[in-house]
Amino acid sequence: MSTASPSRTWKRPPLIKDTKLRYGLLLFVIVYFIAAFFSYEVNWARVYEGLDRGWEFIKAFSNPDFVTRWKDISAGIWESIVITVTSTVVGIILAIPIALGAASNLAPKPVYLFCRGIIAVARALHEIIVAILMVAIFGFGPLAGFITLAFSTIGFIAKLLAEDIENISKPQAEAVKSTGSGWWQWINYAIQPQVMPRLIGLSIYRVDINFRSSSILGLVGAGGVGATLNTAFDRYEFDTAAAIIIMIIAIVLVLEYVSSFIRAKVQ
Amino acid sequence: MPVISKGELKVWQRRDRAKQLKIWAMWFVGVAIFMFCWKIISDATTWFFVFDAPRIAADIGGRAWPPRWEYLSELWKPMWDTINIATLGTLLAIIMGVPVAFLAANNTTPSRKFLRPFALLIIVSTRSINSLVWALLLVSIIGPGIFAGTLAIAIRSIGFVAKLLYEAIEEIDTTQVEAIQATGASKLQVIAYGIVPQIMPAFAGLSVFRWDINIRESTILGLVGAGGIGLYLQSSLNILAWPQVTVILIMILIAVLISEWVSSKVRLAII
Amino acid sequence: MLQLQNLGKSYKTGDDALKGVNLEIPDGQIVGLIGPSGAGKSTLIRCVNRLVEPTTGKVILNDVDVTTLSAGGLRKERRKMGMIFQEYALVDRLTIMENVLSGRLGYVGFWKSFLRKYPQSDVDEAFRLLERVGLDHMVDKRADELSGGQKQRVGIARALIQDPEVLLIDEPTASLDPKTSRQIMRLIAELCKERNLSTIVNIHDVALAQMYVERIVGLQLGEIVFDGPPEGLTPDVLTQIYGEEDWEATIDEVSDDIDDDINEDGIDSAKNTDKVAKDITEAVSAP
């Protein structure tokens, strides 16, 4: 190598070194996309027809109709907010002990596996599917939505909080332990201060997610503004739909603003 | 200072009185809000059904088992559609989201006054609306089917991809960019050599992450007619065919677990 | 010949980082720029190739006024000014070869550079330079796998492949151990002589500067307070630049060290030091 010939060519080294694997993957991707492409049956005439309606929908945004169905809209939004508040609070309260149990550096193995199991189940199914089951069991109304979102809040907060607890600074934890503190004191002095900012950040983020989700639960009868939205689309009342969507976006924006404010204060 | 002198004694408290009162007041307000919200839910609930819930749950559970495994043969096609909705939707979202991210990032946007707010508006509006709502809208505009579902997934994901990517772009190491600028490179070359390699891991990571989320989301789009396995879930629920519902749920669970496994593998391989 | 005329920079915050600096560097001269942190050393270097936009004054490189150039003209002029950075500023996730070739970006079009299709002459030159700095055996390694000294040599190769007329060097040794620092400084000094480059080296280590540069410029609060040969750095002068301190030790150290430092096989021992440094790093970071 040291006696370099005057003309050495150079090529960028490929991302995947194994030639067989590289071309195999490439072939797989190409075949997949061709197969996927041909399994689409698009009714272009229907799409073309729809363009008018699409345009109407966009126009509706410049002239949203808050008035005609204001009663339905306000009731729906209000219910969404209520579901968001209750499910987030209950979800977080239940998530904290589960997170402690799901942190491998705190909990004994059986507790750890049990709590991780709860988290896995809570995260695996989409909220809408859970909501369908809850509506079947508890009947129509916001209670089903509340239970659904509290359940998925547990999965979300407990998983991320447990990961954060597992990543805490060991010296601090050891220092507190070496003072002869009890287990609860240790949690209170060594763990809690380290994970608190993260917990607050996650909780606020979850408020945001829960509100967005609560706006669709109505589609399956679990309360919130989703039902109104669904009706509006079914009747092609795009101006009402636009009004609802604008309200959702506005509330999400406010939540995002508040959350960045609080997060900046916490850190 | 929360240290109060009482004659010779210095009394230490964690917080001084005003601060302590303020914190109590905040807790009080918080609890009051929660109780108020809970009352609203409680009023809207028929508690008779709720007390009956254990029996109903047991009843549904009894009917749902054993699963009707023969139904599986009808599910392969919708499952294939579901995967396509998620994959092609994610791909479309990436194609549209990447330029939006570069327009939105403070250090790459060509115009801070005009294009950046526009890009941020796209990000906020696509992100705030759930993909199910997008599906609802698209089904009513272009008709039911997996095409509407794919577009719904794509639109919802634009904001996600663009937001995470533009944050990554804003966090890059600027000296590497300076070094490339100092060679006399053009703007595009600075992006290709100074910025793109730095954001590549974040980009690849968030793409597979979003794909993973989209597999989950696309399983339910059928509920509003946007294709995939959700259609079959909907029709099975409508005829109360619980053994079929069980099969579908098991299938969805397996798909979600596999996609989560794939995405975590790919993300590990990238870093 | 590089001329700075009345070069000034005020930041938006109101800080005057540079106050009318006049400096003339003939071809082939290495100027060591010393001064306390915040004296404006980095700003001065970055004003030359307009990574920082100067507010007043001119930068003239062989009769071209860099400060009045359009964006396109500036890019052309930047090709003639190689720059070497403190934290190496290699693009971490590109290979050594790609990093070196990135020095040619001003000469090749976008698509050619995007597809990594550089002219063979550039690739030859890249190999030659990597050989010169002792790294031609690892062209396809990623930059973040290298040790500090190796990274800085890639940085040098990247600057030189531009075929520059001027070298701008910002704290080349600040992140390196003492031995590697000397090897890097020696390499820079040799290369500047070989290619007859006007060079500004911005450097914290006064002793190191005295060893390898032929002219020292002392900067304090954005103004030149000393300009002369390294021998001119008396304790009085250093006090003027940096403030009150016992400077005898610093200057003594220089004369002691020069002799044992110069060895014949600079590059080879450099490799060894890097290896040792790497071993140490690994040993330290191992659990």
Residue B48's pLDDT band (boundaries 50, 70, 90)? confident
**C268 has pLDDT over 50:** no
CA distances, C33 to each of A245, C37, C67, C78, C179 (Å): 61, 12, 21, 21, 21
8-state DSSP, C141? S
B64 vs A: CB within 8 A: no
pLDDT at B93 > cutoff 90: yes
Q: In chain C, where does DSSP find H-type helix? A: 41-48, 71-78, 96-101, 110-114, 120-132, 148-160, 178-195, 206-212, 235-242, 248-261, 266-285
* Residue B116 Cα, gap to closest chain A Cα (Å): 17
Q: Which two tokens stand for residue B12?
A: 């230490």
Question: Which run of H or of E encompasses C64?
Answer: strand C64-65
Q: Which residues of A touch B224 (CB under 8 A)?
A: 219, 230
Residue A95, burial from CB neighbour count under 10 angstroms (0-12, 13-18, 19+): buried
Structure tokens at A165: 């607890």
Rounded distance, CA B260 to CA A159, Å? 14
Q: How many CB atoms sit inside 10 A of residue C59's CB?
A: 24
- CB of B271 less than 8 A from some CB of C: no
Tokens at residue B151, please? 């577009």
pLDDT in tens, A89-124: 999 999 999 998 888 888 888 999 999 988 888 888
More confident residue, A168 or A210: A210
- Identify the architecture of domain A68-266 in CATH: Orthogonal Bundle (1.10)
What is the pLDDT confidence band of residue A6, given thresholds at 50, 70 and 90? low
* Matching residue, tokens 């359940």: A151
**Whether the Cβ atoms of residue C195 and residue C11 lie closer than 8 Å to each other:** no
Bridge partner residues of C56 (DSSP): C8
pLDDT digit string, tens, across residues A152-204: 999 999 999 998 888 887 778 888 888 878 788 888 888 888 888 888 888 88
CA-nearest of A190, A163, A196 to A266 is A196
Do the Cβ atoms of B112 and B232 come closer than 8 Å?
A: no
3-state secondary structure of B177: helix
What's the CA gap between B106 and B108, in Å, rounded?
6
The lowest-confidence range among B88-102, C146-160, C266-280 is: C266-280
Of chain A residues 208-247, which have a CB less than 8 A from chain C?
Answer: none
Residues above pLDDT 90, as percent of chain A? 17
CATH fourth-level superfamily of B75-270: MetI-like (1.10.3720.10)
pLDDT exceeds 50 at position A254: yes
User: C1-37 pLDDT, tens per residue?
Assistant: 888 999 988 888 878 888 888 999 998 899 999 888 8
Pick from B132, B95, B78: nearest CA to B248: B78
* Of the partner residues A4, A6, A12, the one whose CB lies closest to the CB of residue C98: A12
Cα distance between residue B26 and residue B28, in whole Å: 5
Residue of C95, C127, C140 lying closest to A8 (CB–CB): C127
pLDDT tens-digit readout, A60-76: 888 888 888 888 888 88
- What letter would DSSP give residue A13? P
Q: What is the DSSP code (8-state) at residue B194? A: I
Question: What does the pLDDT read at residue B70?
Answer: 83
Domain ranges of chain B: 1-43, 75-270
Q: Answer yes or no: are the C-beta atoms of A61 and B13 closer than 8 Å.
A: no
Least CB–CB distance from C102: residue in B175, B183, B198? B183
Structure tokens at B252: 């969805």
Is A12 touching C (CB cutoff 8 A)?
A: yes
Residue A234 phi/psi, 5° resolution? Answer: -60, -35
Contact A125 B253 (CB under 8 A): yes
A89 touches A149 (CB < 8 A): no
Phi first, then psi, for residue C136 (nearest 5°) are: -70, -5
Judged by DSSP in three states, C217 sits in strand
Closest CA to A145 of A210, A67, A101, A194: A210
Q: How far is C110 from chain B (nearest CA, A)?
A: 6
Pair C19, C223: CB distance under 8 Å: yes
Q: Which of B189, B246, A2 lies closest to C116, judged by CA? A: B189
Task: Examine the pLDDT at B181 and tell me if it is beyond 50.
Answer: yes
| Among B51-65, B121-135, B222-236, C247-261, the least confident range | C247-261
Closest to A157 measured CA to CA, from A213, A107, A90: A90
| pLDDT-derived band at B29, boundaries 50, 70, 90 | very high
| pLDDT classification of C201: cutoffs 50, 70, 90 | very high
The per-residue pLDDT for B94 is 95
The pLDDT value recorded for residue A5 is 52
* Among candidates A6, A7, A10 on the partner chain, residue whose Cβ is nearest the Cβ of C139: A10
Q: What is the pLDDT of residue B150?
A: 93
pLDDT at B161 over 90: yes
pLDDT score at B2 = 63
Greater model confidence, A50 or C161: C161
Mean pLDDT (chain C) is 82
Domain range C2-285, CATH architecture: 3-Layer(aba) Sandwich (3.40)
Q: Quick one: closest CA in C to A11, which residue?
A: C116
| Chain B: partners with 3+ C-beta pairs within 8 Å | A, C
Residue B91, pLDDT > 90, answer: yes
Structure tokens at B135: 């599906």
Torsion of CA C270, C272, C273, C277, to 10 degrees: 140
Q: Does C287 score more than 60 pLDDT?
A: no
Averaged over C225-243, what is the pLDDT? 84
> What's the confidence (pLDDT) of residue A98?
92
Structure tokens at A190: 């060594």
Report C:133-162 residues touching A (Cβ under 8 A): 136-137, 139-140
CA–CA distance, B237 with B220 (Å, rounded to integer): 13
> Of all helices (H) and strands (E), which one includes residue A31?
helix A19-38
Q: Is the pLDDT of residue A255 over 80?
A: yes
C-beta separation of A37 from B80 below 8 A: no
Q: Is the dihedral of CA C171, C172, C178, C184 positive or negative?
A: negative
Of residues B13 and A76, the one with the higher pLDDT is A76
ipTM for the complex shown: 0.81
Interface of C with B (CB under 8 A): 49, 51, 75-79, 81-83, 85-87, 89-94, 98, 102-107, 110, 113-114, 155, 158, 162, 168
* Residue numbers in C near A6 (CB within 8 A): 124
CB atoms within 10 A of CB A105: 13
Between A202-216, B108-122, C241-255, the lowest mean confidence (pLDDT) is in C241-255
Q: How far is the CA of B23 from the CAs of A105, A159, A267, C132, in angstroms? A: 32, 28, 18, 67
At residue C231, the pLDDT reads 85
Q: Does A17 touch chain C (CB under 8 A)?
A: no
Closest CA in chain A for residue B216: A126
Residue B110 has pLDDT above 60, yes or no: yes
- Domain positions in chain A are 19-58, 68-266
- The 10s digit of each residue's pLDDT in A8-41 is 788 888 877 788 888 998 999 999 999 888 888 8
Burial code of A162-196, b = ≥16 C-beta within 10 A, e = fewer?
bebbeebeeeebeebeeeeeeeeebbebbbeebbe
Residue in A with minimal Cα distance to B31: A89
Judge whether C243 and C157 are in contact, CB under 8 Å: no
**pLDDT range class, residue B179, cuts 50, 70, 90:** very high
Residue identified by tokens 């509920």 is B223
Nearest to A168 by CA among A186, A185, A154: A186
